Amino acid sequence: MSWLGPEEWQAVALSLKVSFWATLVALPLGTLTAYVLARHSFPGKQALNALVHLPLIMPPVVTGYLLLLTFGTRGALGSFLQEWGLVFAFRWTGAALAAGVMAFPLMVRAIRLSIEAVDPKLEQAAATLGASRLWVFVTVTLPLILPGILAGTVLAFAKAMGEFGATITFVSNIPGETRTLPTAIYGFLQVPGGEGAALRLVVISVVIAVGALLLSEFLAHRAARRVAGA
Amino acid sequence: MSWLGPEEWQAVALSLKVSFWATLVALPLGTLTAYVLARHSFPGKQALNALVHLPLIMPPVVTGYLLLLTFGTRGALGSFLQEWGLVFAFRWTGAALAAGVMAFPLMVRAIRLSIEAVDPKLEQAAATLGASRLWVFVTVTLPLILPGILAGTVLAFAKAMGEFGATITFVSNIPGETRTLPTAIYGFLQVPGGEGAALRLVVISVVIAVGALLLSEFLAHRAARRVAGA
Amino acid sequence: QITVFAAASLKESLEQIAASYERQTSDQVRLSMAGSSTLARQIEQGAPADIYLSANPDWMDWLQDRGLIDAATRVDLLRNRLVLIAPTRPRIKGLDFGDGRIAMALVDAVPAGIYGKAALETLGEWPALQSRVVQTDNVRAALALVALGEAPRGIVYQTDALAEPRVQVLAEFPADSHPPIIYPAAIVAGRDSPASQRFMAYLLSDQARAIFGAAGFAVMQADR
Amino acid sequence: MSLSVRLSHRLPDFDLDIRFDAPPGLTVLFGQSGSGKTTVVNAVSGLLRPDSGRISVENRVLVDTENRVWLPPHRRKLGYIFQEGRLFPHLTVKQNLLYGRWFARAGGPAEDPDKVIDLLGIGALLDRRPGSLSGGEKQRVAIGRALLAHPQLILADEPLSALDEPRKAELMPYFERLRDEFTIPILYVSHSATEVARLATTVIAIDRGRVRHQGPAAEVLGDPGFRPQGSRSIGAILQAKVARHHDDGLTELDAGGASLFLPHIARDPGQPVRVRITAHDVVLATTEPVGLSALNILSGTVRDIRTGDGPGAIVSVDTRAGRILARVTRRSITALNLSVGQPCYAVIKSVAVAPEDIGKG
Amino acid sequence: MSLSVRLSHRLPDFDLDIRFDAPPGLTVLFGQSGSGKTTVVNAVSGLLRPDSGRISVENRVLVDTENRVWLPPHRRKLGYIFQEGRLFPHLTVKQNLLYGRWFARAGGPAEDPDKVIDLLGIGALLDRRPGSLSGGEKQRVAIGRALLAHPQLILADEPLSALDEPRKAELMPYFERLRDEFTIPILYVSHSATEVARLATTVIAIDRGRVRHQGPAAEVLGDPGFRPQGSRSIGAILQAKVARHHDDGLTELDAGGASLFLPHIARDPGQPVRVRITAHDVVLATTEPVGLSALNILSGTVRDIRTGDGPGAIVSVDTRAGRILARVTRRSITALNLSVGQPCYAVIKSVAVAPEDIGKG
Ligand SMILES: Nc1ncnc2c1ncn2[C@@H]1O[C@H](COP(=O)(O)OP(=O)(O)OP(=O)(O)O)[C@@H](O)[C@H]1O
Ligand SMILES: Nc1ncnc2c1ncn2[C@@H]1O[C@H](COP(=O)(O)OP(=O)(O)OP(=O)(O)O)[C@@H](O)[C@H]1O
Ligand SMILES: [Mg+2]
Ligand SMILES: [Mg+2]
C-alpha cells in the first residue's frame, strides 16, 4: 500500500511482533494462573488475584512507571535479569512485556471462567482411568477450555495491539525498536493535521485485530460444533 | 484521611459515580449483546462482534476522539441526543460513557463465555415446563451465568476506575465534573513533585477496585457453592 | 464562573493563580488540564472553555485558523527554556551528551521534543545523536527516565528540571538554536465576557507573573 | 385418536420414519437402545423440529410441517421426564419441583405437591440442591417436576430405570392413576416388560427408526410372534373384576366367570383389574391336577401351538377367563401329546403373578 | 479377603458407616435409592476421601486414614463405570474407549478392543462424539471405556440399568468372564435381583448407610428373611454341572444327582453352572404329579415354613439338588396340610428359569 511510508510499515511489523510475543508468552502463564485461581485455594490467593488485576485498575502510565521501576536497568528485577542477558529497557521485548502485563488480566479472566465451567466430574473420570493431574489437564481440561483460551488469546492480542500508555512510559518510543502502532498514532494526533495519518494506522490496526478476532471465532465455532457432536 | 485534599476527595467520589453508572448501564446492554452473540446467528453478527471489540483494539485516545466526534455537542448523535436532554460532552455522563465503552468488550466477553457454557438442555427442560424464552433466560440462564456476570461486572468496574485515555480525550479534565481519579493522577504526574499525590490516588483507586474484586469473588464463591449443592 | 483549558504542564502555577484570583474576586475558576492537542480538539467540538492556554503556538494557530479563538485577545503569556539534564551523579557541566540514551519528548509531535530536535539540528548534533534518542509521550516522562537513571541524558524544559532534585542541569540550549518556546493564551471565540477578560488580565498581572516566575517560566512582556 | 404421530427425520447415520395413532391412555414406546425412542419423544415435545411430519394430541396440532404449524415447547403443556434428569442445578429440590407451577396453565390435573413429594419419598430433600443427590433421588425429583407442571401430555423417557423394585412398584400405580383418573395422554418409553404389560394401553414397538408392531397392549404382548425383549415378556393380559377379599389375604377375581385367587389387591369388589399372566409362569396339564400348591387351575382348549428354533413352544389356551399363553418345552408337548383342539388345564400359582403385573383395568 | 472396606463418613443429613470383607469375585452392593451405594464406590475409587477408614484390594491398601496412606485415583488401576456416564464430550467414541489405554499400566487383562466394541454393539459409533449418542449408547461406551483401561479393580455403578433386556443378557456373561477368567475383583451396584443372583459372589445389602446383610450370594438371597427388593428376589441358588445336551434343545443338568432340564445352556458337559430358582416359580405337590408340562419334579422334605403378615409363605424344601425355596399361599399350606418334615415334590418348569438366571458356577 502506497499510502503508508516505510516508517509506518515498520510500526505495523513491530506491533505485530510485540503483540504476538506478548500473547504467546502470556498464554501459558495466564492459563496456569487461571487454573490456580479457579481450582486451588491457598493463602495469598486473593493477593495474587488482585495483583493480576492491577494493570486493569491503575492508569496505564502508572503501570508503565512501575514496570520501569522494576524492570528498568536500575530496577530490582531488571538489573538481575540483565545478567542473564534478558534486557527489557528500551527494547521491543520491553514493549512486549508491557503489552503482556496489560493484557494479562483479560486473558486470565477469560480462561478462568472457562475452567470454572468444566465439570470436575469429567476430570475425576479421567483420573480413575489412570491420568495423573497433569495428564488430566492436558487431555481433558485443556481441550474443554479451548473456547476460553481462544477468547483470552484474542482479547490479549487485541489489547496488545492497542496498548499505548504503559508501553511508551516503560520503553519510550524508539523507531524500529519500540515504536508500535499506538505510539505512532499518538504522535500523529499531537500535531495539527496529523489526523489523516493517524486514521490510516488506526484502520490497519483494526483490520489486523479484527482479523484475529474472526479467526478465533471461527476456531471456537468449530471446536464447539465438534463437542456438540456432529 | 487528612492526606487528601477536598479536590482529591471530589475525584474519588466522581470516579465512583462514573464507574458505578458506567457498569450499571453497561450490564444489561452487555448481557444482551453477549446473549445475542452466544446464542444467535444473523447477518452482521461478526460486524457487531468486531464493533464491540473496537475500544479494546484502538488506542484509548482514538476511542476518545471518536466519542468526541460522535457524542460531542457538534457530533451527529450528540446533537440529536441533546434535544432529548441527554448531554454527554464535558459532563460526568460523558466520562461514564467513555468508561462504559472501554469496559464493554471485557464485560461482553466474560458474560458470553458463561452463556456458552450453559447446557442448552437445561434451557430446553425449562421450555417444556412452560417457560417462554424470556422466562427461560430469567429463571435458568441468568442464574447459571451469575459467575460470568460477576466477573464481567468487576472487570468493567475495574476498567472504569482505571480508564484514562478515552475519558480525558472525550470530556477533558474538569474538576468536579470530569476529573476522575485517573485524570487527576495524570495531572499530578505532569507537574514537578506531583508523584506523591499521584501515588496516594493510585492507592485509593487500587483499594476501591480490589475491594470490588474481593466482593465479587466472595459472591461468586457463594453462588458456586450453592450450585455444587451444600 | 470561567473555565480555563490549559496545558497540563502549567497545572501547579495555574492552580496557585486561580486560588489567589478567587480570593480576590467573586469569580470561580475551573481548570481543565490536558495535552494541548486534546484541548484544542475539544474546543473545536464545542467544549465549554472560556480561555485556552496552549503549550505551543501551533495548536493556538490551528484554532485561530478556524476562527475558534478571539484573535484579538491572544497573547504570548510565557516562555520556557530547553536544558540538557543528567542524573545528579556524577557531577558534570557543559553540553556533554555522553554516551547512552537521550530522553526526549516525541520529536515530531510533542512541543518539547520538537524544540529539542530543532536545537540539536541547529547545533549539528542531530545526525550523530538521533539513534540514541528515546522518545516519550510527554516531557515529564522524559524527565522521569533521567531521574530514575534509565537514561543518562535528557532534554526537557527548565521548569521541569528545576523541580526534580534527582537531576542536574548540564547546560541550557541557546535560545536561538530552536524556535522560541512560547505559551500563548487567548479567549475562546464567543466566550468573550467580562469575567474572561478579568482573568486574562489577571494572568498578565504582577502577582501571576511572580507565581509563573517562581516555577521557572520566563514571563513575556505584554507587548502584543 | 388421542395421539397421532407422523414423523420423518434424518440424522447423520440415522433415519427415522414413524407413524402411529394411539387411543387415549398410556402409549409405550418399546425398542432397543438406539432405535429412536428418545428422538420420537423429543419431536413430540418440540425439542426436535422434524424434517417433516404432523403430530397431534387430542386434536391439538403440535406440529404440522405441511401447514407450517409449529407450537413451541413451552406452549405444548407438557410434563417431560427426561432420560437424563436435567434438573436445574441452581434451584433447590423444592424449587425444581414447583418450577412448572410458576407458569401454571389452565387445565391439567392440579396435583397436590405434598402428595407427590410423599409418594416419591423426597420430602427430606426439599432444601437440597440437585448436585448432591444420588442417582435415584435425581430421577424421582425429575418425575415430580414433570408431574407437578399441570401437564396435559406426559412424556416419560425411561422414568423408572434408575429406581429399585419397591420404589418402582410404588410409582406404577401412580402412572395408572394419571392414565385412568385424569385421562392425561402419556407417552412412555420403557425397556421393562413388566412396566409395559402393566401400564400400556397401546404398545408401539420400534426398531431402527421404524414402527415394527403397534396395537393394544394385550394384543401386541399376547402375540407369540412378538418377542423383542426376550421371551420373558410374552404373556396374556386378562380382564377381570374383583369378586371378594378373603380373610387369608387373598383376593378372588372373577375373570369371565372363572375364579382367580391372587394376593391381596387393594381395590374394592366390583372394580375392574387387569392381570398379566406371563407365559413362562403357566404350567399345562392334561388331567386335572390334585394336591398341588397352585390355587388357580383353569380348564380350556388348546387353540394354537407355535414352535420356533429353540426348545420352547408357545401354547395358546382358550379358557373362560380369556386366552392364556403358556411357554412350555417341545419335549413336554411330545410327552403330553398336546394338539390343537385338545382340552387341557392351565395351572397358575397365585404368587407367580407379580404384584407389578396387576394393574387397574 | 479380596476387598476389605471400613468406612465412615459424614455428609450433611447422611451418615455412612460401612464395614465388609468380600472374598475374590464379584461383590454386589444392593440397597434402595439413597442408601449410600455410590458413596461407597466413590470411596473405593478415591474420588471421595472418607473421614476415616481403611480400604484394601487384594492386599493393596488404597486408603488408610489411620496410617495416612492415600493412593490417588489415577494410581488405583480402576475401571469405573459411573452411574451417569461421564463420557468425554470432546473425544470421539473411539478415543473415549481407548482413553485408559494411553495410561496403560502393567497387569490387568489386556482386552481386545475390537471384541469389546463388538460385544457392546458400538462399532458403528466409533467416530461419533458422545453428545449425539442415545442414552443406552452412552452407557455402553462408558462400560467399554472402563473395561479397556486394563483395570485391576472394576467398579460398576448400575452399569446395565439403561439397557434393554437382550443387551443385558448379552453383557452379563461378560461380567461373569471378568469375574471367573480374569479374576478381577468387581464391585457392582445393582437394583436388579436377576443381576445380583446371576453375578454376585458376595452380596452386601446396605440400608441408610449401614450394612444390613452380607454374605455369599446363595446365602443372602436364599434367606427367607431377606426381602429388601420385594418378594420376587427370594430364591435358591443351586450348584449343578452340565450333564448332557439333548437334541430337542434342552440341556440336562446334574444337581447333586438329580436331573434338571433347562433350555440350552452354552457350556460344555462337565462344566459347573449355577441356577437361580426364584421362590415364586416353584409349585409344591404332596403327591407325585402326572400329566404336567413341567419337566422337573424334585422330591424332598419340607424343612421350614415361614409365614408373614401377607397371604404368602416361604417353604424350604431339602432336595437332592439342594435346598429349594417355594413361595406359596397360606391357603395352599392349609389345603395341602403341609408341615415340617413332610415329604413333598417341588415342581419347576424348564422355561420358568430365566436365561438371565443361569450363570457360570
Ligand atoms: N454432597 C452431599 N451432601 C449431602 N448429602 C449427600 C451428598 N452426597 C450424597 N448425599 C446423600 O447421601 C445419600 C447416599 O447417596 P448415594 O449417591 O451414595 O446413594 P445411592 O445408594 O447410590 O443411591 P442411588 O441408587 O439413588 O444412586 C443420599 O441420600 C444423598 O442424598
Ligand atoms: N445428533 C445426532 N447425530 C447423529 N445421530 C444421532 C443424533 N442424535 C441421535 N442420533 C442417533 O439416533 C439414534 C436414535 O437415538 P435415540 O436417542 O432416539 O435412541 P433411543 O431409542 O432413545 O435409545 P436409548 O434406549 O439408548 O436411549 C441413535 O442411534 C443415535 O446415535
Ligand atoms: Mg433414549
Ligand atoms: Mg448411586
CATH of the domain at D98: 3.40.50.300
Contact yes or no for C86/C167 (Cβ under 8 A): yes
Contact yes or no for C107/C80 (Cβ under 8 A): no
CA distances to D21, D77, D178 from D153, in Å: 15, 7, 10
Is the residue at A214 inside a domain?
yes
C114: closest CA among C149, C155, C175? C155
Residues E111 and E13 in one domain: yes
User: Per-residue confidence at D324, pLDDT binned at 50, 70, 90?
Assistant: confident
Q: Which residue has the cell 531521574?
A: C147
Q: State the Cα–Cα distance between residues A167 and B39, nearest whole angstrom.
A: 37
Q: State the Cα–Cα distance between residues E265 and D220, nearest whole angstrom.
A: 29
> Which residues 138-197 of D have a C-beta within 8 angstroms of B?
145-146, 149, 155
Q: What is the DSSP string of E71-113?
A: --GGGS-EEEE-TT----TTS-HHHHHHHHHHT--SSS----H
B131 contacts chain D (CB < 8 A): yes
Which CATH number does the domain housing residue E316 bear? Answer: 2.40.50.100
Residues D295 and D184 in one domain: no
What is the predicted pLDDT for the residue at D355?
59
Residue B138 φ/ψ region, left for φ over 0, alpha for ψ in the -120 to 50 degree band, beta for the rest: alpha
Say if strands C153-157 and C102-105 run parallel, antiparallel, or are unpaired.
parallel
Residue range B57-82: average pLDDT? 86
Residues D185 and D162 in one domain: yes
User: What are C190's three cell numbers?
Assistant: 464567543
E60: closest CA among E147, E1, E146, E104? E1
Residues E223 and E240 in one domain: no
pTM: 0.85
Q: Which residue has the cell 496403560?
A: E104
Is the residue at B130 inside a domain?
no
D69: closest CA among D77, D61, D59? D61
D212 contacts chain B (CB < 8 A): no
Asked if B168 and C39 come within 8 Å (Cβ–Cβ), the reply is: no
- Cα angle E262, E268, E270 (rounded to 5 degrees) comes to 90
Reply yes or no on whether the pLDDT at E224 is more than 60. no
Residues E57 and E12 in one domain: yes
Mean pLDDT for chain D overall: 83
Last residue of a domain, which of E176, E192, E227?
A: E227
Q: State the Cα–Cα distance between residues C98 and E94, nearest whole angstrom.
A: 70
Reply yes or no on whether the pLDDT at B48 is more than 90. yes
Radius of gyration of chain E (CA): 22
Residues E32 and E112 in one domain: yes
Chain A CB contacts of E145 below 8 Å: 129
D323 contacts chain B (CB < 8 A): no
Is the residue at B107 inside a domain?
yes
Percent of chain D with pLDDT over 90: 27
User: Per-residue confidence at D167, pLDDT binned at 50, 70, 90?
Assistant: confident
Domain range for A59 is 6-116+145-228
Q: Which residue type does D67 have?
A: N
CA distances to D38, D196, D204, D238, D276 from D216, in Å: 21, 11, 9, 13, 14
Domain range for E51 is 3-227
Mean pLDDT for chain E overall: 83
Is the residue at B140 inside a domain?
no
Provide the 10 A C-beta neighbour count for residue C92: 15
Is residue D9 lining ligand 2, measured as CB closer than 6 Å?
no
Residues D305 and D266 in one domain: yes
Residues D133 and D242 in one domain: no
CA distances to A82, D41, D95, D99 from D158, in Å: 68, 11, 23, 21
φ, ψ for residue C111, nearest 5 deg: -50, -50
Chain E CB contacts of D290 below 8 Å: 287
SS (H, E, C) chain B: CCCCCHHHHHHHHHHHHHHHHHHHHHHHHHHHHHHHHHHCCCCCHHHHHHHHHHHHHCCHHHHHHHHHHHHCCCCHHHHHHHHCCCCCCCCHHHHHHHHHHHHHHHHHHHHHHHHHHCCHHHHHHHHHCCCCHHHHHHHHHHHHCHHHHHHHHHHHHHHHHHCCHHHHHHHCCCCCCCCCHHHHHHHHHCCCCCHHHHHHHHHHHHHHHHHHHHHHHHHHHHHHHHHHCC
Reply yes or no on whether the pLDDT at B70 is more than 80. yes
Q: State the Cα–Cα distance between residues D358 and E64, nearest whole angstrom.
A: 50
Is the residue at A136 inside a domain?
no
What is the predicted pLDDT for the residue at E57?
92
Chain E CB contacts of A136 below 8 Å: 74
The pLDDT tens digits of the residues spanning A138-148 come to 999 999 999 89
Is residue E124 lining ligand 2, measured as CB closer than 6 Å?
no
A183 contacts chain C (CB < 8 A): yes
Q: State the Cα–Cα distance between residues C179 and A130, nearest whole angstrom.
A: 76
Check residues E184 and E291 and name the one with the higher pLDDT. Answer: E184
Residue range A100-112: average pLDDT? 94
Give me ligand 3 centre to Cα B226, in Å.
30
Asked if A58 and B162 come within 8 Å (Cβ–Cβ), the reply is: yes
Q: State the Cα–Cα distance between residues D283 and D222, nearest whole angstrom.
A: 17
What is the predicted pLDDT for the residue at E110?
66
φ, ψ for residue E188, nearest 5 deg: -130, 125
Which CATH number does the domain housing residue B105 bear? Answer: 1.10.3720.10
Span between the terminal Cα atoms of chain C, in Å: 27
Which residue's CA is minimally distant from atom 13 of ligand 1?
E34
Residues E352 and E271 in one domain: yes
Reply yes or no on whether the pLDDT at B77 is more than 90. no
Q: How far is CA B170 from the centre of its chain?
A: 16
Residues D104 and D122 in one domain: yes
Q: Is the peptide bond before E23 cis (omega within 30 degrees of 0)?
A: no
B162 contacts chain C (CB < 8 A): no
Asked if A128 and E78 come within 8 Å (Cβ–Cβ), the reply is: yes
Is the residue at A159 inside a domain?
yes
Lowest mean pLDDT among B90-99, C131-140, D29-38, D288-297: D288-297
Contact yes or no for B158/B124 (Cβ under 8 A): no
Q: State the Cα–Cα distance between residues B26 and B157, nearest whole angstrom.
A: 10
Contact yes or no for D347/D294 (Cβ under 8 A): yes
Residue C149 φ/ψ region, left for φ over 0, alpha for ψ in the -120 to 50 degree band, beta for the rest: left
Q: State the Cα–Cα distance between residues E114 and E317, nearest whole angstrom.
A: 47
Reply yes or no on whether the pLDDT at E107 is more than 60. no
What is the predicted pLDDT for the residue at D310?
64
User: Per-residue confidence at C24, pLDDT binned at 50, 70, 90?
Assistant: confident
Residue range C209-214: average pLDDT? 90
Q: Which residue has the cell 382367580?
A: D260
Percent of chain D with pLDDT over 70: 89
Reply yes or no on whether the pLDDT at E42 is more than 90. yes
Residues E263 and E298 in one domain: yes
Q: Which residue type does E39 have?
A: T
Last residue of a domain, which of D179, D196, D227?
A: D227
The pLDDT tens digits of the residues spanning B134-164 come to 999 999 999 999 989 999 999 999 999 989 8
Q: State the Cα–Cα distance between residues D285 and D345, nearest whole angstrom.
A: 5
Sheet holding C82-87, edge to edge: C133-136, C102-105, C153-157, C82-87, C167-172
Q: State the Cα–Cα distance between residues D54 and D66, nearest whole angstrom.
A: 8
Asked if C134 and A72 come within 8 Å (Cβ–Cβ), the reply is: no
Last residue of a domain, which of D185, D205, D227?
A: D227
Is residue D10 lining ligand 2, measured as CB closer than 6 Å?
no
Residues E98 and E161 in one domain: yes
Chain A CB contacts of C59 below 8 Å: 192
Asked if E328 and D349 come within 8 Å (Cβ–Cβ), the reply is: yes
Mean pLDDT for chain A overall: 88
Helices A146-162 and A195-228: crossing angle in degrees, nearest 10, is: 180
Is the residue at B123 inside a domain?
no
Q: How many domains does chain A have?
A: 1
Q: Which residue has the cell 557543559?
A: C94
Residue range C12-35: average pLDDT? 88
Which residues, including other chains, have CB under 8 Å from residue C172's CB and lie 6 or more apart? C81, C82, C83, C84, C158
A102: closest CA among A44, A170, A36, A37? A170
Which residue's CA is minimally distant from atom 14 of ligand 1?
E36
User: Per-residue confidence at E255, pLDDT binned at 50, 70, 90?
Assistant: confident
User: Per-residue confidence at C140, pLDDT binned at 50, 70, 90?
Assistant: confident
Give percent helix, percent strand, percent coil of chain E, each to the nearest 5.
25, 35, 35
Q: How many domains does chain D have?
A: 2
Q: Which ligand is nearest to the CA of E11?
A: 1
Tallying the residues shown for chain B, one arrives at 230
Percent of chain B with pLDDT over 90: 50
Residue range D229-239: average pLDDT? 63
Reply yes or no on whether the pLDDT at C220 is more than 70. no
Is the residue at A129 inside a domain?
no
